[in-house]
Structure 1
Amino acid sequence: MADQYPFTRLDLNLLVALDALLTERSVTRAAERLSLSQPALSASLARLRAHFNDPILARSGNSYNLTPLASRLSEHTETALDAARRVFESQAEWDPSEATREFTIYGSDYSLATTGRRLASLAKERAPGVRFRFLVHNEQIVEDAVARLRIADGLLMPHGFLTDLPFTDLWTDTWVIIADEDHPGLHGEVTLDDIARLPWVFTYQSRSAFTSATRQIQQLGIEPRVETVVESFLSLPMFVAGTERLALIQAGLAEYARNTAGVRIYDPPFDATPVLNAMWWHPMHRRDPEHEWLRNLLAEAARDLQS
């Protein structure tokens, strides 16, 4: 019990102050951010310095730098603050029509433009006070999914990349190939010879970031000639239009691609593995009625997209 005593004396507001100080690196700016007086925040900084036995902010000329300890704290403070917010946002009775909770969801631009967009539309009808924060994922977020999902509500990602996490299956999509509508080298269809011969623009190209369809092409013994790599499905049509490049895109974005740029849609000349979209989430949400509502609404959004 004695070991826990210093922690029981701490005020949660100190965590808020610490987050602002680490972000702004200035007592004045941190005070403005929190709408506090400068003396009030200086007092919080003094308590933090006493607790950590560290200055936190070290003067360097006319500015302040984070101490080595403060730099380490910055990696954990935002996570701790988000977790605390979640604790105090929880409600004994969940009424979506009156709720004001914010849900944070990671995903590719494809997932957010399809599933995320439909989810937000449904929520506006059922729970107008609920907010969503949609964030585009990257390789680091996917590789550290368990830790990231402790402070986020879900990660929209097809099967094949994550394991050992609960998931909610959503909808199944397929792959199509897009090319310039006046492509001089294509005649009615795309063949395996075209895939091997023509240049490509890929989304993602690394050991841990790839699509199932591009992996299949390699398994067919074809090494595509990749001219451009972009980390965005929505930008693919712009890198195809007016060029000889080919690109693979989900059928759910085909209409968008056709309307965005002058491209034509082709079926792949191989049996492309379908895209089974899912939302992955942390086990701590299993008994959370608010999160269950989110999962059910996502499932409904997926049914709308599948129909």
Structure 2
Amino acid sequence: MKDLNLLYVFESLWRDRSVTLAAERMGLTQAAVSGSLKRLREEYDDKLFTLVGRKMEPTPLATELAPQLLDALSMVRKTHLERGSFDPSSARRIFTVRTRDIGEAVCLPRVVQALSASAPSLRLRTVFRPIPETLNAMASGQIDFALGFLPSLETGIHSRVLFKAGYVCVMRKDHPLARRQLTPELFSAGEHLLVEYSGSGHVVIERALMGAGARHRIRIRLPQYMAAPHFVIGSDLLWSVPAILARTLAEHYPLVIKPHPLPLPGFEVALYWHDRFHRDPANKWIRDFVIQQFAGEASLPG
């Protein structure tokens, strides 16, 4: 392959399965990416990527070639990264962030607002995938970094703590316990809402409920945080929730926040990224930028 730019196009199509997304992430036009794909097809005498439904899926030959081509591109990157540069003021790129709705509500608005001044042409896209898929996507470059409390992300992963926080108990404003001290006994006797997802460090909440004898008093389980207030404000449910999210939601919903009566451990909200992109100038810049937005919040109260 004489033109190394074709390697980047192959990588983007392999990663994004879309000419449109590949063009956006590379800062090129769709016509340019399509033209490069045409040249790749001519060079290998194979379609390499074909449209299946809404995705450009790799052919058997592309799947066979991918490990070698991606490794070759990785070697090329390593020879240039130390001298590479990234100009955020002019760069046009989409960074993909793996986070849950709590990260979208609490952390990313601040980042997006700051980006509008420092890097007006950069954009963010959030995705949510199970931990095994997240690891694979971070390794392939489909995901630039993950944001949250994800202690199970390990293999080949770097991390940087943004801040530490704790848990509180949330209830509606006219809840029978709203004006009382919330003791462990009163808490355990109540009915509970639990936001659950395997792979998140917040599984400690369910363990604490079980330890307090409230396992069978979990009235509803939800897979996401942002729906929870709609259940809490219309019932006597108690919700154990990260304090950072509770404070954000209390600005918009009639909620009472109380110190959690159970000895729940604190947790760390961090950035996670794959070793393959540890020295990539663009990825390093966006990581440092996000870290900078939370530099004054090493510890948030629970």
TM-score normalised to the size of structure 2? 0.70
Report the Cα offset of residue 178 of structure 1. 0.7
User: Cα–Cα, structure 1 residues 15 and 145, in superposed 2: closer, same or farther, change >3 Å?
Assistant: closer
Report the Cα offset of residue 246 of structure 1. 1.0
Report the Cα offset of residue 192 of structure 1. 2.0
Q: Spell out, residue by residue over 1:131-161, the C-alpha distance to the aligned partner (whole angstroms, 9 max, x if none).
A: 23332423x2x22332111322101121532
User: Cα–Cα, structure 1 residues 196 and 278, in superposed 2: closer, same or farther, change >3 Å?
Assistant: same
| Superposed counterparts of 1:114-133, under 5 Å | 114-129=106-121, 131-133=122-124
State the partner residue of 1:29: none
Secondary structure of residue in 2 paired with 1:260: coil
Q: Spell out, residue by residue over 1:269-299, the C-alpha distance to the aligned partner (whole angstroms, 9 max, x if none).
A: 1222112011110001222222222222122
| Superposed counterparts of 1:207-226, under 5 Å | 208-209=199-200, 211=202, 212-223=204-215, 225-226=217-218
State the partner residue of 1:105: 97
Larger Rg: 1
Alpha carbons 1:178, 1:247 under 8 Å: kept:
yes
Secondary structure of residue in 2 paired with 1:303: coil
Aligned counterpart in structure 2 of residue 51 of structure 1, from 36, 46, 52 = 46
Aligned counterpart in structure 1 of residue 273 of structure 2, from 281, 284, 296 = 281
Amino acid in the other structure paired with 2:223: E
Q: Spell out, residue by residue over 1:162-203, the C-alpha distance to the aligned partner (whole angstroms, 9 max, x if none).
A: 223111111112211111111125551322223322222211
Q: Report the Cα distance in structure 2 between the residues aligned to 1:269 and 1:291, rounded to whole angstroms.
A: 41
Q: Spell out, residue by residue over 1:49-89, the C-alpha distance to the aligned partner (whole angstroms, 9 max, x if none).
A: 9627x99679xxxx9xx99968x97xx9xxx8xx99xx8xx
Q: Spell out, residue by residue over 1:30-59, the C-alpha distance to the aligned partner (whole angstroms, 9 max, x if none).
A: xxx9569xxx9xx99x9699627x99679x
State the partner residue of 1:153: 144
Report the Cα offset of residue 128 of structure 1. 1.8
Q: 5+ residue gaps in structure 2?
A: 20-28
State the partner residue of 1:262: 254
Secondary structure of residue in 2 paired with 1:51: coil
State the partner residue of 1:144: 133
Q: CA RMSD in A?
A: 4.4
User: Cα–Cα, structure 1 residues 219 and 136, in superposed 2: closer, same or farther, change >3 Å?
Assistant: farther
TM-score normalised to the size of structure 1? 0.69
Q: Report the Cα distance in structure 1 between the residues aligned to 2:247 and 2:260, rounded to whole angstroms.
A: 17
Secondary structure of residue in 1 paired with 2:194: strand
Q: 5+ residue gaps in structure 1?
A: 1-6, 25-32
Secondary structure of residue in 2 paired with 1:117: helix
Secondary structure of residue in 2 paired with 1:163: coil
Alpha carbons 1:192, 1:269 under 8 Å: kept:
yes
User: Cα–Cα, structure 1 residues 267 and 296, in superposed 2: closer, same or farther, change >3 Å?
Assistant: same
Q: Report the Cα distance in structure 1 between the residues aligned to 2:98 and 2:167, rounded to whole angstroms.
A: 22
User: Cα–Cα, structure 1 residues 205 and 222, in superposed 2: closer, same or farther, change >3 Å?
Assistant: farther
Secondary structure of residue in 2 paired with 1:218: helix
Report the Cα offset of residue 12 of structure 1. 4.4
Query: How many residues get paired?
Result: 273
Alpha carbons 2:188, 2:213 under 8 Å: kept:
no
Q: Report the Cα distance in structure 2 between the residues aligned to 1:143 and 1:216, rounded to whole angstroms.
A: 26
State the partner residue of 2:228: 236
